[in-house]
Structure 1
Amino acid sequence: MFTRKTLAALTITSALAVTPAAFAAKMITVANFFPDTHPNSIALKDTFKKDVESISNGELKVKVFSNGVLGAEEKLYNSVRGGTISMAILGTIMDKEVENVGIIQLPFLFKNYEHAQTVLNSDIGQKLVNDMDTNTGMHFLAYGVQGFRVVASNREISSMEDFKGLRLRFPGITSMLEIGNNLGANITPLPISEVFSALEQGVVDGVENPYPNIVASKWYEIVKYITETNHVFTPNLYLMNNKTWNGLSKEQQKAVSTAAQNAAKQEWSLLIKQEAQNKAKLEQDGVKITVPNQDFHTALIQAEQSAYESFYKSHPEARDIVQEIIALGEK
């Protein structure tokens, strides 16, 4: 026969036995396609991981996979949608599914980093991703930053004529391919993971990307000319699988959301600081940086105007949003 003391002891023992399983931490896997030295990779490890685990009091754990080890952007996009990865940092690869997110990468839309950050952190930024959940199965958390895109090539570009015959790698996004074609270059869409070998083997003559990607990926070791076109601003979107997000408690969701916002802030700060350092490093390594003169800059803008009308045809709400973005830059 069990005494009260025996029953009490058994109850405590049983409770202790189930505690580890009952309170096992949930694992969040987050991946990107950037090298470990990129501001996004640093922010994920230094801020996102630490903040999620700290704010959730250990209920959530984070494992970060950088450098494309889980795949390039398209694979990461499909992996998060399918739920094999909890979360990824992506560009606007989902522009066919999400009505207005492609607006961000319209040419020469943003004046500078301050303008871009102001827009993306405003109601406009949220408006651009309103249908993300329903159309992709992913939950939007924060806007990070890749930067303004420049052209790195094996020859100097100082006028529109110099683009003729140049084989340029562009991302395989419809709006970006049109921007490339408007330059007059021969455009080759390739995953970012294949760019180094394509440059090395002469498959392409150049690549357009923000400065941090050019440095972190070491493309400058092969191509020694950069034209600072700043033709497109590219964000990073912190995105989580919807089922993973909905499986978190309200407190855990707040921890993840707060950590993502904090990581994004660090990423912006790091990238803007690194850009000046990147330019200095490139010049030290023998890269010639050309800043377009006024005539060349004007010609670049004029060449890309058709990209807006093309976008408006398939995105009827975009025209008004673009005007809102331009107005914020004029304040």
Structure 2
Amino acid sequence: MKWIPALGLAALFAVGSTAAHAAKTIKVGNFFPDSHPVNIALNETFKKEVEARSNGELKVRIFSNAVLGGDEKLYNSVRGGTLEMAIIGNIMENEVEHVGIIQLPFLFNNYAHAQAVFASPIGETLVSDMTEKTGLHFLAYGVQGFRVIASNRSIQSMDDFKGLRLRFPGIENMIAIGKELGANITPLPISEVFSALEQRVVDGVENPYPNIVASKWYEVTSHILESNHVFTPNLYMMNDKFWNGLSESEKTIVSEAAKAAAEQEWKLLIASEEKDKQVLSEAKVEIIVPDAAFKQQMIDAVQGSYDNFYSGHPRAREIVEEIRAIKP
């Protein structure tokens, strides 16, 4: 009867072996609707590449539409390790030395300029202390886009900002930009924006075109000022402890899949802007493109943001000059 304990030992070994090779799951959170370029890219590229190239050893689950929370909650969840990965904005700018430079006003000329900057050594400089300061591993630069202002009234001069209640994200530098333009700023979670607009708690919201259309904010606004006042990236971030728990081949797979997804996201988002404008036109939303004089007045009004940023970040002025010098 000695075969019984031997069989039991073999069974235990088999169970242990199976557990040791159980697939690792990468839960990816973001606050964008399923139709947004970031979620299309995550599903079509990141998830497929990671699962196929790892032969099923890595599984990807995508949680879109803020089901796991907005920027702040996603950021804290990835830092705390309850979420392996998230696509977030510049919410860590107060902790990471130079990443806040990205959202200084009127810094990037167009999408080609932004892409050229992120592909250059400057892109690495901006996130060089990310892991040390946040416990997050940076994977890739995605794109939300250039921010415009959707509101329930026309904005055609600096005077039109006076008394305008605008929702801006709760990021110090972003709030300062809104105030410098002359608006009354209300920070709100992105999930509360639609109802705030509908109930006239705020008069408007600033965000890139794809977010305005995907979130259907155009249904409760009537005008858009194409200010392009700030460029906002998407940062593909992973919990550093989880990252370090991956094998070298798994790290390569995840890193390359994230970069491929981000590349697809850029292409989709840039292509989607004209379609988004068509949707807005059909919804009778007036798009106002500021003339050169009005644009320069906005640029002049927000220069205090640069002075404030430079005072706390000694190398920032040099980096900004490098960014402006890059030709795509």
Fold match (TM-score > 0.5): yes
Distance 1:10 1:21 in 2: 17
Match of 2:34 in 1: 36
The AA in structure 2 aligned to 1:282 is L
Matched, 1:278 2:262: no
Distance 1:137 1:21 in 2: 27
Match of 1:229 in 2: 227
The AA in structure 2 aligned to 1:80 is V
Question: Pairwise mapping of residues 1-331 of structure 1 onto structure 2 (< 5 A)?
Answer: 18-329=16-327
Deviation at 1:21, TM superposition (A): 2.1
Deviation at 1:305, TM superposition (A): 1.2
Runs of 4+ in structure 1 off by over 6 angstroms are: 8-15
- Farther off after superposition, 16-25 or 150-159: 16-25
Deviation at 1:172, TM superposition (A): 0.6
Deviation at 1:26, TM superposition (A): 0.5
Q: Could you say what the CA RMSD is over the residues aligned between the two structures, in angstroms?
A: 1.9
Distance 2:133 2:189 in 1: 24
Deviation at 1:294, TM superposition (A): 1.0
Distance 1:15 1:64 in 2: 33
- Farther off after superposition, 292-301 or 206-215: 292-301
Distance 1:229 1:299 in 2: 11
Distance 1:18 1:78 in 2: 33
TM-score (norm 2): 0.96
Distance 1:280 1:70 in 2: 31
The AA in structure 2 aligned to 1:211 is Y
**Unmatched tracts of structure 1, length 5 or more:** none
Aligned length: 328
Deviation at 1:15, TM superposition (A): 6.4
The AA in structure 1 aligned to 2:175 is L
- Farther off after superposition, 169-178 or 54-63: 54-63
Distance 1:188 1:179 in 2: 12
The AA in structure 2 aligned to 1:29 is K
TM-score (norm 1): 0.95
Distance 1:295 1:186 in 2: 23
